[in-house]
Amino acid sequence: MWELALGLGAMSVTAHRQQRGGRRALDSAIAEFPDLPVEAIVKEDVLRQGIGFSPGALARSAAGKPKSYFIFSFDHIPISEMGQGEHQRAPEEITLSGGPWGLRRTVVSVRVNPASPYQVALEGEDRRGPSSEGGGEPILYLDGSPLVPVVFPDSPAYYGRSLASGRPITEVAPCIEWGYLIYLTVFRVCQYFGRDEECRFCDINENFRQQRAAGRPYVGVKMVDEVIEALAIIAELDRDAQAYTITGGAVTTELEGLSEGAFYARYAAAIEARFPRRWISKVVAQALPEADVQRFKDAGVRIYHPNYEIWDAERFALICPGKARHIGRETWIRRIEAAAEILGPANVIPNFVAGVEMARPYGFPTVAEALRSTGEGLAHFMRQGIVPRFTTWCAEPLSDLGRDQGPAPLAYHAGLLRLWRDTHARYRLPAPPGYGPPGAGRAVFSVSAFMDVIDPDTPVAPL
């Protein structure tokens, strides 16, 4: 039988990454938030704490669709501490279905953490030996007890292909959200460099360095022609993807002689010229002037994500120093609102990083204060028809804030789901477009559970 202690890799993991909350905390959140789908609470807890994998589970998942490291590391330990080569073998996402609560299928992004109370192993696996590939189906264990069956993603038909340059297609155009979204990180680094400029929760530049050091063929800037070549293969072989996102780090001066708006717009223009409206076109960029938003629209972009990361003014300045200095919070908010005039409010979907507003040393000391602040921000945007979404913070150790602390409490994340859902319902808003269907058992958005808490009968905003 699988030994129900922490995974083999856990021994090398620094103490601060070890268990933050197990079954008791999960049961208590489920009892405290009976109006939330259990799926959403479990998903948030798995996202905030990450997952460890047994040798057998890794051997199984490696044969499917491994993590692509599509932009950040989204792991709780650096690659250098991964004792089982998890960076090449852990799955991109998993689904959870069944178990004691009869969970409807729930898609969860994988964040490697060998010391997590959540461990995936094969049923009946004996992991004491050097080779542990036996066993039955994968199961998610919590505190060593079986919780819910797991499914690993199959590799999409196009994943084995390479481009004419020899570059694997997965380095140019991986997909996430169970195949729904093609993720085009066309600029792999950020021009906000160092502690005084980078957003303090972000490891984009450090992740670039660690991936290169680990041998992954990351390039700083993807060529437009290679993106088109990759998408031509996907258009031929794939029917699952419904959307693509063009994104990357901030451009504070110029990149290849172009401003940030012009740089990202050129990819959208090339894609839409070659494959008009084949997928829903999305861009994640800073809050840019109206002329750039119009440029995006003219290029065929339908959804724009000018991510404000954190609502509170004081904490925005401390946690996003580069953004605060180069653009400023008031301008950022004003530009989000101006973008809504150009693209339509439902098509401007700014992200915030859920949980980072509680991180030491700048964070709110209590869950109530953190939620009160974020609630202000949600109401500010939602009353104008703009629906922010959130990504659950992964305390990445290569980021400034993630170096020596773990995630925000589960009560914060469950409270945020309730707050988000109730604010969204109060303003009678449609489900955001470009995320697939809403509702527990249907949602595919994998890095937070906001889509899982929307009433499945809520119509999706038309594009």
> Shortest distance, CB of residue 275 to ligand SF4, whole angstroms?
27
The structure tokens 């994340």 sit at 413
The span from the CA of 436 to the CA of 209, in Å, is: 33
In this complex, which beta carbon is closest to ligand SF4, that of residue 284 or of residue 348?
A: 284
The 8 Å CB, 24+ separation contacts for 427-431 are 427/382, 427/383, 427/385, 429/346, 429/382, 429/385, 429/387, 429/461, 430/346, 430/458, 430/459, 430/460, 430/461, 431/458, 431/459, 431/460, 431/461
Vertex 107: Cα angle to 101 and 110 (nearest 5)? 110
Cα Rg, the chain, nearest whole Å? 21
- Whether 284 contacts 305, CB under 8 Å: yes
In this complex, which beta carbon is closest to ligand SF4, that of residue 38 or of residue 288?
A: 288
H-state helical runs in 10-84: 23-32, 38-49, 55-61
- Candidates 190-198, 269-277, 327-335, 423-431: pick the segment binding ligand SF4 (CB under 6 A): 190-198
In this complex, which beta carbon is closest to ligand SF4, that of residue 249 or of residue 402?
A: 249
> Shortest distance, CB of residue 278 to ligand SF4, whole angstroms?
27
* Binding of ligand SF4 by 190 (CB under 6 A): yes
Q: Name which of residues 224 to 283 contact ligand SF4 (CB under 6 A).
A: 249-250
In this complex, which beta carbon is closest to ligand SF4, that of residue 307 or of residue 373?
A: 307
* Binding of ligand SF4 by 199 (CB under 6 A): yes
Binders of ligand SF4: how many residues, by CB under 6 A? 8
> Shortest distance, CB of residue 190 to ligand SF4, whole angstroms?
3
- Candidates 61-69, 89-97, 191-199, 448-456: pick the segment binding ligand SF4 (CB under 6 A): 191-199
In this complex, which beta carbon is closest to ligand SF4, that of residue 177 or of residue 198?
A: 198
Exposed (0-12), middle (13-18) or buried (19+): which is 299, by Cβ within 10 Å? buried
- Candidates 104-112, 198-206, 325-333, 337-345: pick the segment binding ligand SF4 (CB under 6 A): 198-206
> Shortest distance, CB of residue 348 to ligand SF4, whole angstroms?
17
* Binding of ligand SF4 by 204 (CB under 6 A): yes
Residue type, 113: N
- Whether 409 contacts 371, CB under 8 Å: no
* Binding of ligand SF4 by 395 (CB under 6 A): no
- Whether 282 contacts 301, CB under 8 Å: yes
Site string for ligand SF4, 306-345 (x = CB under 6 A): ----------------------------------------
The span from the CA of 228 to the CA of 121, in Å, is: 39
Exposed (0-12), middle (13-18) or buried (19+): which is 418, by Cβ within 10 Å? middle
- Candidates 22-30, 170-178, 199-207, 445-453: pick the segment binding ligand SF4 (CB under 6 A): 199-207
> Shortest distance, CB of residue 434 to ligand SF4, whole angstroms?
19
> Shortest distance, CB of residue 256 to ligand SF4, whole angstroms?
17
55-85 burial, b if ≥16 CB within 10 A, otherwise e?
A: bbbbbbbbebbbbbbbbbbbbbbbbebbebe
* Binding of ligand SF4 by 357 (CB under 6 A): no
Among residues 46, 150, 202, 431, the one that binds ligand SF4 under rule CB under 6 A = 202
Token pair in block for residue 362: 């700048």
In this complex, which beta carbon is closest to ligand SF4, that of residue 144 or of residue 289?
A: 289
Residue type, 257: G
* Binding of ligand SF4 by 396 (CB under 6 A): no
Among residues 2, 118, 192, 362, the one that binds ligand SF4 under rule CB under 6 A = 192
* Binding of ligand SF4 by 198 (CB under 6 A): yes
In this complex, which beta carbon is closest to ligand SF4, that of residue 306 or of residue 433?
A: 306
The span from the CA of 404 to the CA of 452, in Å, is: 30
Q: CA neighbours within 13 Å on the CB side: how many for 361?
A: 0
In this complex, which beta carbon is closest to ligand SF4, that of residue 88 or of residue 331?
A: 331
The span from the CA of 74 to the CA of 67, in Å, is: 10
Contact footprint for ligand SF4 (CB under 6 A): 190, 192, 198-199, 202, 204, 249-250
